[in-house]
A and B are shown apart, each in its own frame.
Chain A
Amino acid sequence: MSAVVAEHDDHHDHGPAKGLLRWVITTNHKDIGTLYLLFALAMFFVGGAMAMVIRAELFEPGMQFVNPQFFNSMTTMHALVMVFGAVMPAFVGLANWMIPMMIGAPDMALPRMNNMSFWMLVAGVLLLASTLFMEGGAPASGWTLYPPLVLQTGKALPFAIFSVHLLGISSIMGAINIIATIFNMRAPGMTLMKMPMFVWTWLITAFLLIAIMPVFAGAVTMLLTDKFFHTSFFDAAGGGDPVLYQHIFWFFGHPEVYVMILPTFGVASTIIPVFARKPLFGYSSMVYATASIAFLSFIVWAHHMFTVGMPIAGELYFMYATMLIAIPTGVKVFNWTATMWKGSMTFETPMLFSIAFVVLFTMGGFTGLMMSVAPVDFQYHDTYFIVAHFHYTLVPASVFILMAAGYFWLPKWTGHMYDERIGRLHFWLSVVSVNILFFPQHFLGLAGMPRRIPDYAVQFADWNMISSIGGFIFGASQLLFLYIVIDTIKGGTGEKVTDEVWEDAAKHSLEWTLPSPPPYHSFTTPPTVIPTEHI
């Protein structure tokens, strides 16, 4: 700390380095946040292009464009790129930008490690992408990488595993940085129970990441030794068990999906009060609900494996534990509704995306509740019903909230206002098409269509075609977002935004007390007044 302070005394107005090298060597939380966000946006389009390949092949029955092996690579890579390349980095980008500004700090606690974790992410994702061009193709065993199937991967296997290691280290470093920042760099007077919800949800998420990424790294390392060093962790012939991998994977995997949803909750809890012009309803119950969800996420993993052949006691325990998640999640949804209740609402693009998030995430929650019931999951499991379920909790939830966050904070970040008309057009196209895309998949799953198949029986043809059409519209609509981001950076509507940007936003959180765009080092002197509108 003292070193940072000393530096500030020496060169007062110092800004970014000049030229392109600025982006390589930067240790500034805003620069790194921008890098994360732009990288995530690029990967969103790469992963999206893979989804377009999948939906094109599924447009009609019969095999038209790709062979089944490549199709499986596409489903696998689509998931890995979207999870590890798009959604997670996007939230780390938001954390980088917003946490120091929200807690009244000048920067992140560990700026050099911050730079390193970004570039390891890039290395990891590029390594993963390079497997597409290897002999035998990219991994095609699904993002869960279940053995023994994953061990049939061609030359790509060790590269994919090393890429997972890199991504894991990058995530852990990001998480350590966030925890260190939140615990050490809050402005005087900002107690834990006065922190904005976004900061709270990220604090909890960071602990989840530290707990689970080593588990995943361990699981894939066991795959590596099984394949190349004659161990048999997952091979019954040598005394191992392929189901053991699934237990380890989902011990990572279930908290992992909450890593993608908890910061989503945080952003929603940030945006909704601003546009309802009301404090967040039940701040402390929101904090406790988030912590409960995080805790439960560690003890429900085998609900991903109801049909794997567990003893009845296991089936029942995991069913009951999973059902419990509905309670804190319900509290959150009720609290958001109560926040809107008797507010004075306006519906700018960030609010539109946030409301769509509450509604559509809740629909994903309902199907999640349905699947928690173990005997019924013997029908739902591994069908398009689950595909619909987790896409509802990821696309119109996490991705919509990322869009909302973009619209909400872009004016702060750039000092320019985005074009509200195009923003709303983007919202309406997205919200309609995302439902055309994913809602019919519930019907397909219930009617008996398994997931991860490149071709299907003809009775599934109509809904697949509708779903694909929705997919193409959704994919194309996102180009509007890309346009808006570029346009806003270049000057947007030309309207000069105020420090607050949104009416009375400064009552909710500290970032709105800074100029738009904020100075290179956010708070060089700690703020003295802590906003409390949100609690």
Chain B
Amino acid sequence: MKKTKQLFAGLILMAFGLGTAQAEYTLNLMKGVTKVSNDIYDLHMLILWVCIFIGIGVFGTMFYSIYHHRKSRGHKAAQFHENTTVEIIWTIIPTLILIGMAIPATKAMMELDDVQESEMSIKVTGHQWKWEYEYLDNGIHFFSSLDEASNKVRQVGSGLDPRSVPNYLLNVDKPLVIPTKKKIRFVFTSADVIHSWWVPDLGWKKDTNPGFINESWTSVDEPGTYRGQCTELCGKDHGFMPIVVIAMNEPDYNAWVEKQKAAVAAEAGSASKQWATEELVAKGKSVYETNCSSCHMADGAGLAGTFPAIKASKVVTGDINAQVKLMLDGKGMMPAFGKMLSPVDFAAVVTYTRNGLGNSVGDSIQPSAIQTLQSATPAAGKNE
């Protein structure tokens, strides 16, 4: 049995202590890929060893006593119950140890906090349940959601094997791309509830608070792909909004930026063309699955009491303009999709909900019409 062997191996490694096992099991904090994350790792190891050292002392004494000072071995109880000297010693020694820990901790904290002299800024906005990235220097802007393969497998009772999906629950449709060897400032906020943006390899997490801005920074030396997750409970799909950061060296990064700009131009072109209903429905299905299905469910049945059904919904089967308006502006827990979806995706998903998921209203709306509405709504404005 491979499983049993692994289990056994794991238990043995556990017995050896935290620091030794790297190969198959991650038992310890990762060192990460930034100076800050390495400093944090060193600090973690320092405190861990301090704790282990004290633990051996205290537990050693206790177990010596438990073994030797027992009635069954005929040990007679001493009757001392006070010793001021000892009490003072074991108050002062821990105090000194704490001071010794506080000094490097203060240094690391100051370093972590220092966002000065950054070379570029990325705004991260948390949404239920995806991330929005905006490059404040060059205007690149996109959303990043759980990848489709993980999303299929993670449905309740899907019966699919998570092990068949590479990077299950740690993969996204569009990763965040950053250049290496540059000090990047991140600013964080949220569109709805509090989330927290964490990539362990960068060494920190930061909460995204609605209505407020938080800051943090990183500088990655080596190109690579670094994965993380939301770490503040943010509702139903809290476990399903991963983060993927790809660090590229300067030329690759610049090429990526050019590609993004070209894609935005192409998108703008396709918004002005005339789309057939079937085309919109076909495209709308995948837009629905990425953006809508986590609340309204993949089959459009919704969740009684919390999320309304799409199927036979009064809004979806009623006036198309009313539906578009509701989706543009949002309502209650329903986010304002006016600024989240491109005109094409928006039109596609509207058309899909009216002609799929058990509905057959028959009408459709053109991306160009959405574009006009989006630029007319104050909530809109950041079209890709």
Interface residues of chain A, those whose CB is within 8 Å of chain B, are 61-69, 72, 135-137, 140-142, 146, 148-149, 152, 154-155, 235-237, 241-243, 276-283, 285, 307-309, 312, 315-316, 319-320, 323-324, 326-327, 330-331, 333-334, 337-347, 355, 358-359, 362-363, 366-367, 369-370, 373-376, 378-379, 381-383, 439-440, 443, 446-448, 450-459, 462-463, 466, 535
Contacts and interface: CB of A to CB of B under 8 A. Distances in A.
Given A337-B58, A342-B77, A373 B162 contact: no
B81 A148 contact: no
Contacts of B149: none
Given A362-B58, A379-B37, 20 more contacts: A62-B161, A62-B162, A64-B156, A149-B193, A154-B306, A241-B209, A281-B83, A282-B81, A309-B212, A315-B113, A316-B109, A340-B65, A342-B78, A359-B59, A375-B40, A375-B108, A375-B112, A381-B196, A446-B18, A457-B167
A225 to B, nearest CB: 18
B29 A446 contact: yes
Contacts, number: 313
B26 A446 contact: yes
A359 B161 CA distance: 40
B51 A62 contact: no
A439 B14 contact: yes
Contact of B168 (A68, A281, A378, A458): A458
Nearest to B74: A344
Contacts of A154: 305-306
A346 B47 contact: no
Contacts of B54: 366
A455 B239 contact: yes
A309 B168 contact: no
B210 interface: yes
Contacts of A278: 77-81
A355 B194 CA distance: 41
Contact of B239 (A66, A68, A285): A68
Contacts of A366: 51, 54-55
Contacts of A455: 154, 162, 169, 239-240
Residue from B48, B198, B237 with most neighbouring chain A CB atoms (10 Å): B198
Given A243-B212, A308-B207, A379 B29 contact: yes
A342 B233 CA distance: 49
Contacts of A376: 40, 43-44, 47, 105, 108
A343 B163 contact: no
Contact of B162 (A140, A446, A458): A458
B79 A136 contact: no
A326 B98 contact: yes
Interface string B60-84: 0110011001111001111111110
Contacts of B83: 281-282, 338
A375 B160 CA distance: 39
Contacts of B231: 381-383, 450-451
B356 interface: no
27 contacts: A62-B160, A62-B161, A68-B238, A69-B236, A69-B303, A136-B305, A140-B236, A142-B233, A149-B235, A236-B211, A242-B194, A307-B207, A308-B207, A331-B87, A331-B90, A362-B58, A362-B59, A366-B55, A374-B109, A378-B204, A379-B40, A379-B204, A381-B196, A382-B196, A446-B28, A450-B198, A453-B239
B49 to A, nearest CB: 11
Given A315-B113, A363-B55, A443 B26 contact: yes
B168 A61 contact: yes
Nearest to B11: A466
B57 to A, nearest CB: 10
Nearest to A320: B102
Contacts of B192: 148
A346 B73 CA distance: 10
Contacts of B81: 278-283, 339, 535
B336 interface: no
A463 B211 CA distance: 38
B157 interface: yes
A65 B156 CA distance: 7
Nearest to B82: A282
Contacts of B305: 135-137, 154-155
A342 B167 CA distance: 56
B154 A307 contact: no
B163 A242 contact: no
A317 to B, nearest CB: 11
Contact of A237 (B77, B211, B239): B211
Contact of B25 (A334, A339, A345, A462): A462
B30 interface: yes
A141 B69 contact: no
A281 B82 contact: yes
Interface of B: 6-7, 10, 14, 18, 25-30, 36-37, 39-40, 43-44, 47-48, 51, 54-55, 58-59, 61-62, 65-66, 69-72, 75-83, 86-87, 90-91, 94-95, 98, 101-102, 105-106, 108-113, 153-158, 160-163, 167-170, 188, 192-194, 196, 198, 200, 203-207, 209-212, 214-215, 228-240, 303-306, 333
A458 B210 CA distance: 32
Contact of A443 (B27, B155, B194): B27
A381 B233 CA distance: 12
B304 A72 contact: no
A369 to B, nearest CB: 6
B88 to A, nearest CB: 10
A242 B239 contact: no
Contacts of B155: 63
A328 B43 CA distance: 23
Given A241-B211, A382-B232, A341 B65 contact: yes
A397 B270 CA distance: 64
A67 B304 CA distance: 13
B80 to A, nearest CB: 8
Given A148-B210, A309-B212, A135 B304 contact: yes
Nearest to A355: B66
Contacts of A345: 65-66, 69-71, 75
A378 B217 CA distance: 13
A334 B62 CA distance: 9
Nearest to A68: B236
Nearest to B304: A135
A148 B194 contact: yes
B133 to A, nearest CB: 19
B27 A327 contact: no
A463 B238 CA distance: 21
A462 B6 contact: yes
B242 to A, nearest CB: 8
Contacts of B240: 68, 455
Given A280-B81, A378-B203, A344 B76 contact: yes
Nearest to B207: A308
Contact of A375 (B29, B105, B235): B105
A346 B154 contact: no
Nearest to B213: A309
A277 B105 contact: no
A161 to B, nearest CB: 18
A492 B112 CA distance: 60
B362 to A, nearest CB: 33
B114 to A, nearest CB: 9
Contacts of A316: 106, 109
A334 B57 CA distance: 10
